[in-house]
Amino acid sequence: MDTVRFGVVGLGNMGRFHADYMNSLQPAARLGGVCDVDEKRRKEISDKHGGVPAFGTYQELIDSGAVDAILIATPHYQHPEIAEMAMNKGLHVLCEKPAAVTVNGARRMNDAHARNPKVQFGMMFQMRTAPIYQKLKSLIAEGELGELARLTWIVTDWFRTWSYYGSGGWRATWKGEGGGVLINQCPHNLDLIPWLTGMMPTRVTGIAHIGKTHPIEVEDDVTAIMEYDNGMMGHFITTTGEAPGTNRLEIAGDRGKIVAENGKLKFSRTRKSVKEARETSPNSFEQVEAWEIDIPFKSEPEGHKVITENFVAAIREGKPLIAPGEDGVKQLELGNAMLMAGLSRQAVELPLNGVKYDAFIHELDKKYGGRKKIAAPASGAASDMAASFKSS
């Protein structure tokens, strides 16, 4: 394939953003079409990009023959049906986060890919391209930390006002977004946890709150604990109600601890194995010697465009994907399990039972749906995109 023709489905903040850079990928790729239910919006974007074909439904775009691949940037619930139809029609699919609202939705997308293995299916997990996380992943993979013992991520710098939640009727509702901070703000963090460590937990417990600091019907405060087969423990703390917030990731292992915070990586490297010191030292209160190291990492291109360029290279050259579609299941499995465990106050085993989760979220909508008691002008909506691109 000489030039990959992309169709962008959904022209809200993210769809517009993707459409705007697509032609800069030429000759490898270009914008081939746009789709949105809003006629004025799709005409505006079409005119802006040289009159590319504009469609009112994703079915029309997929059947048009105008595109070879689609980038899905619609509301979360629509992702599985759009991806499935596109792959069944032989189109490549790149999907914005999250893959879906439920793990079963993401599994449906991957089942469609399994039936159509010749097409590429990728996720827009652009945080994987951030140099700080690229370096952290390489240090872990190369064994610099030894066997991992603990992961703790405090990510509370998602402060959102009541005005933000009132900026759209769909926002912070079970029927609209399918959840709160876990499904909206945290997909990238939840993706990075298994990507960095190479492991998924087998059990999740925690506490979550519906509308703790906002009059909404979904979760805005979550503390989760993850248990792993190798004995590692994980902690994930997030909220949209705290200021000033923190974004601090700690990963500890047998050879020390690495902290990612404020755009820096700090490695407290122990001189000897922690296990060895624990089991063989004659001292009751051994002070394990450690060196404090600032880990350098190169400034490299990162972000959405890098993921899209990689996706195009996978189509044209067979290059491995940075974020394959199957990883969208892992991110949702973690988020769904944290929500289910946190609200039920019961442990949830992984792999997650998707049928049970579907029933659980249905009951949440019945119980809390309509509790959102807030409305405001839409002025805050446009700023959410930039605020959601933070990496560390």
- In terms of DSSP bridges, do strands 256-261 and 148-155 run parallel, antiparallel, or are they unpaired? unpaired
Q: Show the domain range for 91.
A: 4-127+302-323
Q: Within a domain: residue 392?
A: no
Q: CATH no. for residue 261?
A: 3.30.360.10
Assigned domain for 17 exists: yes
Binned at pLDDT 50, 70 and 90, residue 301 comes out as confident
Tens digits of per-residue pLDDT, 258-287? 999 999 999 999 999 999 989 888 999 988
Question: Tell me, what's the pLDDT at 383?
Answer: 45
| Beta carbons of 61 and 9 less than 8 angstroms apart | yes
Task: Work out the percent of the chain whose per-residue pLDDT is above 90.
Answer: 90
Question: Strands 233-239 and 148-155: what pairing?
Answer: parallel
Please state, in angstroms and rounded to a whole number, the distance separating the CA atoms of residues 35 and 42: 6
3-state helix, strand, coil in the chain (%, to 5): 40, 20, 40
Domain-embedded: residue 52: yes
Q: Are residues 257 and 345 in the same domain?
A: yes
* Residue 390 one-letter amino acid: K
Q: Give the pLDDT mean for 365-383.
A: 72
Q: What angle do CA 357, 360, 364 make, to 5 degrees?
A: 135
Mean pLDDT of the chain: 95
Answer for the pair 132, 263: CB distance below 8 angstroms, yes or no: yes
Angle, vertex CA 286, rays to CA 285 and CA 289, nearest 5: 145
**Listed residues 289, 323, 357: the one ending a domain:** 323
Length of the chain: 392
Same domain, 255 and 279: yes
**Whole-number pLDDT of residue 373:** 87
Q: Are residues 200 and 276 in the same domain?
A: yes
User: Is residue 341 domain-resident?
Assistant: yes
Domain check: are 185 and 261 in the same one?
yes
Cis peptide bond N-terminal to 131, omega within 30 = no
Same domain, yes or no: 309 and 380: no
pLDDT at 378: 47
Helix (H) or strand (E) holding 54: strand 54-55
Residue 384 is predicted with a pLDDT of 45
Asked if residue 267 and residue 156 are part of one domain, the reply reads yes
- Residue 377, pLDDT > 60, answer no
Q: How is residue 68 written in tokens?
A: 């070879």
What average pLDDT does the segment 6-28 reach? 98
Q: Phi and psi (nearest 5°) for 358?
A: -60, -45
Q: Residue 380: its pLDDT value, please?
A: 42
Residue 141 makes CB contacts below 8 A (sequence gap 6+) with 198
Do 179 and 62 share a structural domain?
A: no
Residue 358 lies in a domain: yes
Q: How many domains would you assign to the chain?
A: 2
Whether residue 122 lies inside any domain: the answer is yes
Of the candidates 295, 336, 313, which has an alpha carbon nearest to the alpha carbon of residue 133?
Answer: 295
Domain CATH code at residue 83: 3.40.50.720
d(CA 170, CA 197): 34
Q: Do 24 and 50 share a domain, yes or no? A: yes
Give residue 376's pLDDT. 53
Residue 167 falls inside a structural domain:
yes
Say if residue 103 is in the same domain as residue 203: no
pLDDT band at residue 390 under the 50/70/90 scheme: low
Pairing of strands 256-261, 247-253: antiparallel
Residue 311 lies in a domain: yes
pTM recorded for the entire structure: 0.94
280 lies in the same domain as 170: yes
pLDDT tens by residue, 205-245: 999 999 999 999 999 999 999 999 999 999 999 999 999 99
Judge if 132 and 117 occupy the same domain.
no
